[in-house]
């Protein structure tokens, strides 16, 4: 299938100081030399300007601001070719403790961006999650496809689902030039220590025992964040406007298997962890069928060796303690207060 190629020279990356957004900014700077990036980021607890420090200032500019600030968004969008929208409140546990910032950023923030994009006819790519589809049973051979009905479980995933629906409606009613991607769980450098893999790795670096939710059999479909970045770029530039693409790399593993791989990497016995109370509503299994992305856009993941990607990620956390240390104690205090 042939698609028109869209060649943006200037793009806004919202949430470009977060985990996946900053990896995308690095990817664009490295792989697409003619493109200038404006990062729009509020620098919440999850945003760290260090994630993009050192990138050339003639390629990357940081604007500290809120995607809900309509005047700021209007001004920035009037000067760009495309918006790639990563900014979000992204952590399920936090959404259970207090859903309100999730409504504000994930729903109102998306609304603010798509209103500006439709006003200026600017191309918009919406980064979403497979969690909008709810979960699958462990013994179900099915995987999510672009046709799977939405069935979000948590405040986080329901606000992401709401934002996807806004984008679809704006595309249909107002002709917004939008694409959407729904990706599975990412791993790699610059991920906040509240998330599963960095939390276990940094606990082990600290000599503490890792902590595993529930029965540990919840399955996640892991993808290296670098492969997510190449998929988003492929969809932005070669995807069909109005379409949704699922992004995944056939990386299904249950949490206990991932934890045991991490323990092995630290030379610790594989049962050297503590069980903790499960998260309410914890989704059982996610699995992505990325056939459409692979067939239509010829995308392939490069990081198919999970053990190698995990080892490299562990090395990154060992080598970058000053990056994660300031957030560690507050994160563990929050988990302790939730009994996790
Ligand atoms: N983490 C995953 O595995 C995963 C998987 C699929 C999709 N996603 C999606 O990818 C995106 C990025 O996820 P992440 O894990 O990198 O998140 P993150 O929490 O690491 O980063 C979010 C970034 O958004 C910024 N931000 C938050 N609210 C903002 C606001 N109102 N205005 C401007 N900036 C704001 C934060 O400062 C931070 O830099 C999210 O949309 C998420 O739903 C994540």
User: For the chain, which residues make up each domain, given as ranges?
Assistant: 10-189+224-251+285-303
Structure tokens at 337: 């207060």
Ligand 1 site, CB within 6 A: 14-15, 17-21, 40-44, 46-47, 66-68, 86-90, 105, 109, 127, 129, 160, 183, 185-186, 192
Taking the C-alpha atoms of residue 88 and residue 67, their distance in angstroms, rounded to an integer, is 9
Q: Which residues contact 66 (CB under 8 A, 6 or more apart)?
A: 42, 72, 109
Each residue's pLDDT, cut to its tens digit, for the chain (340 residues) gives: 446 899 999 999 999 999 999 999 999 999 999 999 999 999 999 999 999 999 999 999 999 999 999 999 999 999 999 999 999 999 999 999 999 999 999 999 999 999 999 999 999 999 999 999 999 999 999 999 999 999 999 999 999 999 999 999 999 999 999 999 999 999 999 999 999 999 999 999 999 999 999 899 999 999 999 999 999 999 999 999 999 999 999 999 999 999 999 999 999 999 999 999 888 889 999 999 999 999 999 999 999 999 999 999 999 999 999 999 999 999 999 988 888 8
pTM: 0.97
Query: What's the gap in Å between 58 CA and the centre of ligand 1?
Result: 24
- Among residues 66, 89, 130, 261, the one annotated as catalytic is 130
The ligand 1 atom at the shortest distance from the C-alpha of residue 20 is 16
Query: What's the gap in Å between 225 CA and the centre of ligand 1?
Result: 13
Per the annotation, the verdict on 156 as an active-site residue is yes
Angle (CA) 80-85-91 rounded to 5° is 155
Query: What's the gap in Å between 298 CA and the centre of ligand 1?
Result: 26
CA distances from 325 to 199, 206, 262, 318, 331 (A): 11, 10, 19, 11, 10
Please measure the distance between the N-terminal and C-terminal CA atoms of the chain and give it in whole angstroms. 48
The ligand 1 atom at the shortest distance from the C-alpha of residue 45 is 37
Q: What CATH code would you report for 10-189+224-251+285-303? A: 3.40.50.720
Per the annotation, the verdict on 131 as an active-site residue is yes
For 242, list phi and psi in degrees, rounded to 5: 90, -5
**Sign of the Cα pseudo-torsion (16, 17, 20, 24, in order):** positive
Taking the C-alpha atoms of residue 231 and residue 104, their distance in angstroms, rounded to an integer, is 27
Contact status, residue 133 vs residue 184, Cβ threshold 8 Å? no
**Beta strand pairing status for 252-254 and 219-221?**
antiparallel
**Beta strand pairing status for 10-14 and 36-41?**
parallel
Contact status, residue 13 vs residue 37, Cβ threshold 8 Å? yes
Per the annotation, the verdict on 130 as an active-site residue is yes
Closest CA to 184 of 271, 233, 250: 250
What is the four-CA torsion angle of 292, 217, 332, 204, rounded to 10 degrees?
Answer: -100
């Amino acid at each position: 299938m042939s698609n028109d190629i869209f060649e943006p020279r200037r793009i806004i990356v919202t949430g470009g100081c977060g985990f996946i957004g900053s990896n995308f900014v690095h990817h664009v700077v490295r792989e697409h030399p003619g493109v200038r990036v404006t990062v729009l980021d509020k620098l919440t607890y999850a945003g760290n300007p260090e994630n993009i420090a050192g990138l050339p200032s003639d390629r990357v500019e940081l604007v500290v601001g809120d995607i809900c600030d309509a005047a700021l968004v209007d001004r920035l969008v009037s000067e760009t070719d495309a918006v790639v929208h990563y900014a979000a409140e992204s952590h399920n546990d936090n959404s259970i403790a207090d859903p309100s910032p999730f409504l504000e950023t994930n729903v109102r923030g998306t609304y603010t961006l798509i209103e500006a994009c439709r006003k200026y006819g600017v191309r918009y790519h919406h980064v979403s999650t497979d969690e909008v589809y709810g979960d699958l049973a462990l013994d179900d051979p099915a995987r999510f496809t672009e046709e799977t009905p939405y069935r979000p479980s948590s405040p986080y995933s329901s606000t992401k689902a709401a934002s996807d629906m806004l984008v679809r409606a704006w595309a249909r009613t107002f002709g917004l030039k939008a694409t959407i991607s729904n990706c599975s769980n990412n791993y790699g450098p610059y991920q906040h220590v509240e998330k599963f893999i960095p939390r276990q790795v940094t606990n082990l670096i600290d000599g503490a025992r890792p902590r595993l939710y529930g029965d540990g059999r919840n399955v996640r479909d892991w993808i290296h964040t670098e492969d997510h970045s190449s998929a988003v770029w492929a969809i932005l530039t070669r995807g069909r406007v109005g379409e949704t693409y699922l992004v995944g790399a056939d990386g299904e593993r249950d949490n206990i298997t991932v934890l045991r791989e991490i323990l092995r990497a630290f030379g610790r016995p594989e049962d050297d962890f503590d069980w903790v109370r499960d998260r309410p509503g914890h989704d059982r299994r996610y699995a992505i069928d990325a056939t459409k992305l692979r067939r239509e856009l010829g995308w392939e993941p490069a990081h198919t060796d999970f053990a190698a990607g995990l080892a490299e990620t562990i090395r990154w956390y060992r080598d970058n303690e000053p990056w994660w240390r300031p957030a560690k104690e507050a994160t563990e205090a929050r988990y302790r207060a939730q009994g996790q």
